[in-house]
Structure 1
């Protein structure tokens, strides 16, 4: 018999509603699990145990009295440290926001609360979501991959992925600017969804690159991700970038039937340097889709090779602008060694930001400067349009697109990778952010004792298609085990 923390979000929801378990029992079991495992894994940077137990009791009271409860009633959920919540530490894993507590709830936090989810704490991340390892966090803890504690969990949402992978919660929210949900999901063997840009509100998300950032869920199954998306998606008066597009019930599309679905396989994603173990898992996954009745179609996304350099012009440029607000004056870290206003700005930012954030601010400021704006930033915007056009043309022929998530499995924490090598870890995930389309990483197999995910990409607001295909794939491989 499975232990409470080993169940899926959907199973927990049904047991709570059927009164087989109370939310209080579930929440206490989860905190026991965190106490048992988080010393080694390091998923969380703050916890709210007492508040969570009281909120669980309130949900139980509603159920016992026959009151209506929300869609995530009693389910423990974790949140990335770059999402603001009222009265709770919210510092984007940066020293520059040390001690900062939210003065309002991000829209996703409010939606979780309205759905009667139980928020248990904030998860570790790369500082301001800049990184692929969760090692650039300013917190004095290292988040480790639950499958091998000597390896990275991925990033920047590494704590979110590990919290689900190690059964410390059932759903966790991350943010994805260039792969920061999908890459750690693949490394840690969980499901991770980056929705369409404009599907979920970013109000209350500490911005890295505003035209690329998107909040999305991690979970153990595609069904759990669909359950979370039902709650999180939709318009928001506080975020004008959220599109007024109807939110379907995503659970309705998880039929297991994908006969006749056309799945595009871009030749540009199957490159030299793809780890042989990863390639084997990916090839086997394609065969599974064929066995389910899907039609595999070779396609071309010719501008893929320009995606990484385009991203690393545009994202740092936006970061440079967004992080200009952290000046040591209004909130966050303030230097004690300034004799004038110029020194206050310079020293507060020098002391408050880590090396990777400084590196990206410098790159961004450079490409936005008067002499280089046209040569770099403007040109990158044009290439971004070409990348989007590639996807638009491809989706005239296919329903979804299939790719690897990363070139290899999780690498060692002590791997001496250069910044450029780390940037190239996101080579398969970045294009979806540039095009604004949804992508999901789904566990597909193992290599070297480590999980490997596959990536499904859909048309804008076509989450239902990738969830449908992902669910069918997940059911097929589980039947085999």
Structure 2
């Protein structure tokens, strides 16, 4: 069941028939490009526009441009109603919640009440959750408005591209012949194209940071255990993280501030007890790089880099230096090549079948074999389903059990080697390109899949890694700079990435036509 077309018709008919009182400003006069949470809240306070008007314009933009990008899976038919209720609340109380009236786009593997959660698959195309995921409930309580859900690589299998059986293939808004990466490519493309203010992605190995890098966005992969993953269709739960994909560090930080919390339904979040600050926006400091020590991991950046990305990365190092950082070029992690090996574990069967049992509760859909029997329109997804059926445990032969980042001896050893090196050099963070290569052409996404650095460290060690825009190639394709920190060092990474972003201003909108 595909709600996208019908819901668009419903929403647009509501807009053109006039579902609200006469307004003092015409919606067409609202320029939503690059609007931030702060911009929007100031406009609400100044009565420049209200939430209902803003949502209408975002929906019109989706209607005008998503036929080109194919980033949205379903429009929320309640979005305007929710916006109107939030406007009335603000008129009554004079108080804005932290995300009051902020349009949110949610990846299609996160449970949202009353909207399909398909993970891009035919097997889940009729699954409509009756309750929100823990993090969605927190965002809604903070005042966010889910206006749409976004396309993804089916079952989150692909870091390369975002192709689903439900919607098809999403394109990069900066050049529609290229991929937006995966698996959160729909969120990446839609937030880059200003279809919403803030977005959510999930990241098993790359899937927040890759699409953020390919779409000139900020993407936060946070410490494993900082943010709940309950009621989210998993890939490998031992690695899965959910987090913000936004146009600015400030907006991503405001989203993180809402969703970081302990969830009894996600035992990993218990590790966060006593390790988080009372809010994250306090760390948004423009001078955070001044006096910092940044290590350059050439082990990653020198691995067959594309010349233009290499030049952008070297320029970024000069920019870090000019903003007051001491750049240590380069740093060596002892035994790095050995430690990074044999980290991946195939837990898809166990994790997905648990999700089906806990949330979907469909007697005809209990196993991966049931999913395979339903079928897929994607050759890539079909092959990955079969592969995950045939294999469990570590992908490479090993007697070492697959455990979480806090108890798995190989993961701990990898993390300790990195953090011990950071301690010995008094580093605040390590940097490297999020990808060593530009986005690949859609029709060559497998042949040209090169340089994905996001897969190598943080999914296994559990460490936080943030990507921010570091510029564009000559053919206008974005590139990202990644900052890796110690466990629970989100406050430091927020400061460093914000300082770099504010000092460089690399982000620019795509030219949609």
TM-score under structure 2 length normalisation: 0.84
Determine the structure 2 residue equivalent to 1:374: 398
- The answer (yes or no) to whether the contact 1:186–1:451 under 8 Å persists in 2 is yes
Q: Distance in 2 between matches of 1:176 and 1:370?
A: 19
Q: Distance in 2 between matches of 1:213 and 1:288?
A: 32
- Residue 273 of structure 1: SS of its match in structure 2? coil
Determine the structure 1 residue equivalent to 2:39: 11
In structure 1, which of residues 227, 237, 244 is the aligned counterpart of residue 264 of structure 2? 237
- The answer (yes or no) to whether the contact 2:139–2:258 under 8 Å persists in 1 is yes
Determine the structure 2 residue equivalent to 1:30: 58
- In structure 2, the CA distance between the partners of 1:326 and 1:263, relative to structure 1 (3 Å rule), is closer
Number of aligned residues: 467
Deviation, structure 1 residue 467 = 1.3
1:66-120 alpha-carbon deviations (Å, 9 max, x no partner): 2544200001001000000122101111111121101211011101110011111
Give the stretch that moved more between structures: 431-440 or 386-395. Answer: 386-395
- In structure 2, the CA distance between the partners of 1:480 and 1:91, relative to structure 1 (3 Å rule), is closer
Q: Distance in 2 between matches of 1:327 and 1:118?
A: 27
- The answer (yes or no) to whether the contact 2:179–2:445 under 8 Å persists in 1 is no
Deviation, structure 1 residue 136 = 3.6
Give the stretch that moved more between structures: 194-203 or 67-76. Answer: 67-76
Deviation, structure 1 residue 460 = 1.1
Alignment of structure 1 residues 13-412 onto 2, 5 Å: 13-48=41-76, 50-242=77-269, 243-244=272-273, 245-257=275-287, 258-297=289-328, 298-305=330-337, 310-311=342-343, 313-314=344-345, 317-325=346-354, 334=364, 346=369, 348-352=371-375, 355-364=379-388, 368=392, 374=398, 382-396=409-423, 397=425, 398-412=427-441
Q: Distance in 2 between matches of 1:479 and 1:209?
A: 33
Deviation, structure 1 residue 42 = 1.0
- The answer (yes or no) to whether the contact 1:178–1:426 under 8 Å persists in 2 is no
1:260-280 alpha-carbon deviations (Å, 9 max, x no partner): 111111121122411111111
- The answer (yes or no) to whether the contact 1:440–1:455 under 8 Å persists in 2 is yes
- Residue 96 of structure 1: SS of its match in structure 2? coil
Q: Distance in 2 between matches of 1:226 and 1:345?
A: 36
Give the stretch that moved more between structures: 144-153 or 18-27. Answer: 18-27
- The answer (yes or no) to whether the contact 1:127–1:137 under 8 Å persists in 2 is yes
Give the stretch that moved more between structures: 132-141 or 206-215. Answer: 132-141
- Residue 65 of structure 1: SS of its match in structure 2? helix
Determine the structure 1 residue equivalent to 2:24: none
Q: Distance in 2 between matches of 1:56 and 1:299?
A: 50
Unaligned runs of 5+ in 1: 336-340
- In structure 2, the CA distance between the partners of 1:262 and 1:150, relative to structure 1 (3 Å rule), is same
Q: Distance in 1 between matches of 2:34 and 2:419?
A: 40
Unaligned runs of 5+ in 2: 1-28, 509-513
- The answer (yes or no) to whether the contact 1:100–1:331 under 8 Å persists in 2 is no
Deviation, structure 1 residue 132 = 1.7
Deviation, structure 1 residue 166 = 0.3
Deviation, structure 1 residue 358 = 4.9
Q: Distance in 1 between matches of 2:177 and 2:127?
A: 31
- Residue 468 of structure 2: SS of its match in structure 1? strand
Q: Distance in 2 between matches of 1:480 and 1:122?
A: 23
- In structure 2, the CA distance between the partners of 1:15 and 1:204, relative to structure 1 (3 Å rule), is same
Deviation, structure 1 residue 479 = 9.5
Deviation, structure 1 residue 445 = 0.8
The structure whose residues are more often helix, as a share, is 1
- In structure 2, the CA distance between the partners of 1:233 and 1:18, relative to structure 1 (3 Å rule), is farther
Q: Distance in 1 between matches of 2:66 and 2:403?
A: 45
- In structure 2, the CA distance between the partners of 1:140 and 1:236, relative to structure 1 (3 Å rule), is closer
Deviation, structure 1 residue 387 = 1.9
- The answer (yes or no) to whether the contact 1:152–1:412 under 8 Å persists in 2 is yes
Deviation, structure 1 residue 287 = 0.7
